Amino acid sequence: MRFSDFGKKLTSHSGILQLMDDIGRPLPDGIKTYPLGGGNPARVPETEALYRREMERILADCEEFEDIISHYDAPQGRGRFIHAVASFFRSRYGWDITDENIAITNGSQSAMFYLLNLFSGKTGGSEQTILFPLMPEYIGYADQGIEDGTFRSVAARCEYFPDRTFKYTLDKEAVAAYLDQREEVGAIAVSRPTNPSGNVLTDDEINFLASLAKRHSIPLIVDNAYGLPFPHIIFTENAEPIWNEDIVLSMSLSKIGLPSIRTGIVIARKEIATALSNLNAIAALASCTMGQVLSENLIASGELVDAAERSVRPFYQEKARKAESWIRRYFEGTEYFFHRIEGSIFTWLYLPSLSIPTLRFYSILMEHGVVTVPGEYFFFGSDEKPYPHEHYDKCLRLNYSGPDDLTEEGIRIISELYRKYS
Ligand SMILES: Cc1ncc(COP(=O)(O)O)c(C=O)c1O
């Protein structure tokens, strides 16, 4: 048997495969696990109660449950849900959208796979690329390109502060120059908040990217999996939701309690929403109905957004505050830095004195039961090896949304082993 190039590329080892494997596979018996690895969100009681209430309402009806599970939706998504989403964003933010601007997918991971391949790869005689303007970026994009070499990136600038934090900023000149010189760029893509760093691109940076996208007649894809108005895991000001015809906004219900019921929501200009629906028909026939059904009334009534603001954001902000205090406590006396925690469910540690690459450090941590994600996977889109960024093999991504005692102990063990391997 022989796999195609597509088969080989998408089945070879990837960071995201490793990460999802680490989530699903228990460590050997006798090793206590500290789960600071993959992107599992926490259970937030208020949103769980809302979904339970909706489910009970559905089950209490003699027909509704059976009706929901026994039909495919259209490839674009469930009509009533799409209508609720379009109406919500139109009335709340005044965005000029109708139902035709929406496409539903089986999670935002699938949405990004469709989008990144819609705008990169062979077009006639040439090859289109995606530009990631702020590297490091989400590990889950790194291997999504069907064709090799079509993901390109500009390394983030880094501003350090006296309190051991730093913040990535857009290298505006480099990004603008790249686009001026490279006609082959088919789209710009960012996550906001950014996975892995917890950075939130400012309104100014997003407006800058949107204006470049407009100037070059290409879309700016904004992955809003942690953003506003839901799940609202953003702790900074200066981060208004933004959409216009040059922007493709990808959203998800995963980080607001429904990771297992795959639901992604894309808001885009009509041609792009239609293209995604057509792609979805070929790749999946239709998307999962249940998340759309459970959240339709909650979106229409504003309850989901209220819960995001009232419960989800404060829940993660408190977790972030604790994670930061444990980092400061246990790393005291070492040479450490971490990215300002502005959003997402991660903290991004920079360990400049580490004497081994973080890929190796990650394996050692695993032997002690501490699951993390090594930084190397989050740097992609350059021909230079290793990736030309001082943080390339010196960072670890930690998910701080797990149980407090395990997160604290995990951080303590990392700090001890950092001392040993400095
Ligand atoms: C930035 C980002 N985008 C997309 C996803 C995919 O999420 P889902 O497919 O569950 O919507 C994740 C998951 O962790 C993420 O962190």
- At 391, which CATH number? 3.90.1150.10
User: Which atom of ligand 1 lies at the shortest distance from residue 111's CA?
Assistant: 9
Q: Do residue 176 and residue 273 come from a single domain?
A: yes
Which of 249, 277, 302 is a domain's end point? Answer: 302
Q: Is residue 189 part of a domain?
A: yes
Q: Is 20 exposed, middle or buried (0-12, 13-18, 19+ CB in 10 A)?
A: middle
Q: Which of 302, 318, 351 is the last residue of a domain?
A: 302
Residues 306 and 132 sit within 8 Å (Cβ to Cβ): no
Domain stop point among 283, 302, 321: 302
Nearest to 221 by CA among 258, 184, 257, 267: 267
Tell me whether residue 64 is in a domain.
Answer: no
Q: Are residues 115 and 258 in the same domain?
A: yes
272 shares a domain with 205: yes
Helices marked H in 147-249 — which ranges?
172-181, 203-215
Atom number in ligand 1 closest to CA 254: 10
112 and 205 housed in the same domain: yes
From ligand 1's centre to the CA of 192, what distance in Å?
11
Task: Kindly state whether residues 338 and 191 are assigned to the same domain.
Answer: no
pLDDT in tens, the chain (422 residues): 999 989 998 888 888 888 788 877 777 778 899 999 988 999 999 999 999 999 999 999 999 999 999 999 999 999 999 999 999 999 999 999 999 999 999 999 999 999 999 999 999 889 999 999 999 999 999 999 999 999 999 999 999 999 999 999 999 999 999 999 999 999 999 999 999 999 999 999 999 999 999 999 999 999 999 999 999 999 998 888 999 999 999 999 999 999 999 999 999 999 999 999 999 999 999 999 999 999 999 999 999 999 999 999 999 999 999 999 999 999 999 999 999 999 999 999 999 999 999 999 999 999 999 999 999 999 999 999 999 999 999 999 999 999 999 999 999 999 999 999 99
The verdict on 360 and 245 lying in the same domain is: no
What's the CA-to-centroid distance between 159 and ligand 1, angstroms?
26
Distance set, CA 297 to CA 92, 154, 269, 300, 305 (Å): 16, 41, 25, 5, 12
Burial bucket for residue 10 (CB in 10 Å: 0-12, 13-18, 19+) = middle
- End-to-end C-alpha distance for the chain, whole angstroms: 47
Helix/strand/coil for 373? strand
Q: Give ligand 1 pocket residues (Cβ under 6 A).
A: 39, 107-109, 138, 140, 191, 195, 223, 225, 252, 254, 259, 264
Closest residue to atom 16 of ligand 1, CA basis = 195
357 assigned to some structural domain:
yes
In this structure, is residue 50 part of a structural domain?
Answer: no
Q: Which domain holds residue 190?
A: 72-302
Amino acid residing at 25: R
Q: Which atom of ligand 1 is nearest to the CA of 109?
A: 9
Closest ligand 1 atom, CA of 195? Answer: 1
Pocket test for ligand 1, best of 115, 137, 192, 195 (most atoms within 8 A of CB): 195
Cβ-based burial of 368 (10 A; exposed 0-12, middle 13-18, buried ≥19):
middle
Which residue CA neighbors atom 3 of ligand 1 most closely?
225
CATH code (residue 272): 3.40.640.10
From ligand 1's centre to the CA of 225, what distance in Å? 6
Q: What's residue 279's pLDDT?
A: 97
Quote the number of domains for the chain: 2
- pLDDT of 22 reads 80
Instruction: Give all strands (DSSP E) within 205-335, no chain letters.
Output: 220-223, 247-252, 264-267
> Looking at residue 413, what is its pLDDT?
98
Does 63 map to a domain? no
As beta bridge partners, residue 249 has: 222, 267
254 and 212 inside one domain: yes
Give yes or no: residues 357 and 289 share one domain. Answer: no
Task: Pick the atom of ligand 1 nearest to 38's CA.
Answer: 14
Residues 293 and 315 in one domain: no
What SS3 class is residue 232? Answer: coil
